[in-house]
Amino acid sequence: MTIQIELTGVNKHYGAFHALKNIDLSIEKGTFVALVGPSGCGKSTLLRSLAGLEKITAGEMKIAGDLMTNVPPRKRDVAMVFQSYALYPHMTVEDNLTYSLRIRGIKKAEARKAAAEVAATTGLSQLLGRYPRELSGGQRQRVAMSRAIIRNPKAFLFDEPLSNLDAALRVHMRKEIRALHDRLGATSVYVTHDQIEAMTMADHVVVMRDGVIEQQGQPLELYDSPANRFVAGFIGSPAMNFIPATVNADGLSLTVNLGTLEQNLQINQPLPPGRHVTAGIRPEHFRLTSADEGTFRVPVAVVESTGSATYVTTLTDPELTLVETGRSMIRAGETIGLSINPDQVHVFDAGTGTRLARE
């Protein structure tokens, strides 16, 4: 279990702005790590610092065991796939691929052979003589990846590579990128703002906000046990519902406040009575019943159906989003009943947002 990339206490300042705050991150060789977070959280800055395109102001960064402070990008032996692909427009696909080899002095014939091999694995063999402007978005993406592959680098860095593609292509390329990673046994760091990409592609997900790592772990860990309200609301789509609540005197239930409705909700572990908290429930965890059964009775505001799923928004304050698979008989204006398993109620501190400890 070798550590391929290690960051210890990494800080980055842009003048007065503290972009990265004490980042500690260990990435094992062969893993696919996703860096997710909202705009401005520092994920791109972190990636670019790994590449050497930005300099860190404090901390240590090691790639394959070597300390990378003051090592310029061209000596780090990492490859990056840019958001805009950054293909050299004045070179053919083949020249784009062989560029890094020719720069290091490898003979043209050898370089071309390597390019042909890589092109075969990424399906670009027919396109070697074309120029980037003649290619489609998906093809350019594959050229960008091939350019990285041919270098056999210590790590692959991806900077939101799929955000310029349309939805259908994105789904397809997600699988291709992950398949490539597996085939090559590579170590990949993948930056995205799309949590679905992170959840489906990564072995290890790192959620960032405001320059800090909020939580990291396996995708389903983050889904099941978010460490704080931010991660809980960021992971999972549609987003988790948050309801203000207070812990009841018995310590085993909450009074949740839905505007005009107050309701008792069972939880599965004791909490200090009287504490102000936020209850978090995922839309898919509500069980819809008729109005008579069910713990809650809530009026329905909007019903949206995509054919494969139905999204219901309730007329409460705060409003709740529920999702059911398939068709539903619910109409807007009706009152429905909701039920929830206590194990699926997340409780967060109302002020700090941290999950109130369990076990």
Query: What residue type is 142 in one-letter code?
Result: R
DSSP for residue 354: B
Q: Within a 13 Å sphere around the CA of 280, how many CA atoms are in the beta-carbon half?
A: 26
Cβ proximity to other proteins, 76 vs 170, nearer residue: 76
Does position 108 bind other proteins by CB under 8 A?
A: no
Say which residue the tokens 């805009």 belong to.
84
With CB under 8 A as the contact rule, which of the stretches 59-67, 82-90, 200-208, 231-239 interacts with other proteins? 82-90
The answer to whether 191 contacts other proteins (rule: CB under 8 A) is: no
The count of chain residues that interact with other proteins, using the rule CB under 8 A, is 24
Q: Which helix (H) or strand (E) holds 155?
A: strand 155-159
CA distances from residue 55 to 70, 72, 206, 231, 235 in whole angstroms, order as listed: 8, 9, 21, 28, 30
> Binding to other proteins by residue 12, rule CB under 8 A?
no
Residue 89 interacts with other proteins (CB under 8 A)? Answer: yes
Of 12, 43, 142, 147, the one binding other proteins by CB under 8 A = 147
Q: Is 103 in the site for other proteins (CB under 8 A)?
A: yes
The span from the CA of 239 to the CA of 321, in Å, is 8
Give whichever of 48 and 181 is closer to other proteins, judged by the CB atom: 48
Angle 114-93-81 (CA atoms, 0-180°, nearest 5)? 85
Residues 149-168 that bind other proteins (CB under 8 A): 151
What Rg do the C-alpha atoms of the chain give, in angstroms? Answer: 25
- What minimum distance in Å lies between the beta carbon of 202 and other proteins? 22
Out of 19, 51, 118, 128, which residue is the one contacting other proteins (CB under 8 A)?
51
72 binds other proteins (CB under 8 A): yes
User: Of residues 53, 71, 196, 212, which one binds other proteins by CB under 8 A?
Assistant: 53
Shortest CB 111 distance to other proteins, Å: 12
Count of residues making up the chain: 359
Q: Is 311 in the site for other proteins (CB under 8 A)?
A: no
Least separation in angstroms between CB 177 and other proteins: 18
Look at residues 329, 317, 324 and name the one whose alpha carbon lies nearest to residue 339: 324
- Residue 77 or 176: the one with the smaller Cβ distance to other proteins is 77
89: cis peptide before it, omega within 30°? no
Tell me if 339 contacts other proteins by CB under 8 A: no
Nearer to other proteins (CB atom), residue 95 or residue 197: 95
131 binds other proteins, rule: CB under 8 A? no
Cβ density class 126-154: b for 16+ within 10 Å, e for less: ebbeebbeebeebbbbbbbbbbbbbbebb
In 3D space, the residue among 260, 255, 229, 224 whose CA is nearest the CA of residue 242 turns out to be 229
State which residue, 88 or 311, has the beta carbon closest to other proteins.
88
- For residues 182 and 81, what is the distance between their CA atoms, to the nearest angstrom? 17
Q: Is 43 in the site for other proteins (CB under 8 A)?
A: no
The yes or no reply on residue 114 touching other proteins (CB under 8 A) is no
- Taking CA atoms, 177 is separated from 141, 155, 162, 181, 253, in Å, by 10, 14, 10, 6, 46
Q: Are 320 and 250 in contact (CB under 8 A)?
A: no
Binding residue for other proteins, selected from 70, 90, 168, 359, defined by CB under 8 A: 90
In terms of CB distance, is 89 or 185 closer to other proteins?
Answer: 89
Q: Which residue in 3, 71, 86, 239 binds other proteins (CB under 8 A)?
A: 86
Among 80, 202, 207, 245, binds other proteins (CB under 8 A): 80
Choose between 55 and 172: whose C-beta lies nearer to other proteins: 55
- Which residues make Cβ contacts (< 8 Å) with residue 121, sequence separation at least 6? 149, 180, 183
Applying CB under 8 A, which residues contact other proteins? Answer: 51-53, 55, 72-76, 78-80, 82, 84, 86, 88-90, 99-100, 103-104, 147, 151
